[in-house]
Amino acid sequence: MRTTYTVSGMTCSGCANNVSKQVSTVEGVTGVEIDVASGTVAVTSDAPLAIADVRAAVEKAGYSLVS
């Protein structure tokens, strides 16, 4: 399953690395792809993820989940 989220505040590869590292820790996540230009995070998982878990991981990295 692949879900794309919009994250505000990512402006560089360092930002992308921080978000990727944190989102990767969410249980069930098998892959994370970041597009800094569009501010999106594509998450691949075995099953649907709780948006609260993804939001918490993004916020732990210092950014905000828009959708």
> What pLDDT does 52 receive?
96
Number of domains observed in the structure of the chain = 1
Report the CATH number at residue 7: 3.30.70.100
DSSP calls for 5-55: EEEES--SHHHHHHHHHHHTTSTTEEEEEEETTTTEEEEEESSPPPHHHHH
> What pLDDT does 35 receive?
95
Its domain, for residue 12, covers: 2-65
pTM, two decimals, is 0.92
Give pLDDT tens digits for 11-67. 999 999 999 999 999 999 999 999 999 999 999 999 999 999 999 999 999 999 997
CA distance 2 to 32: 9
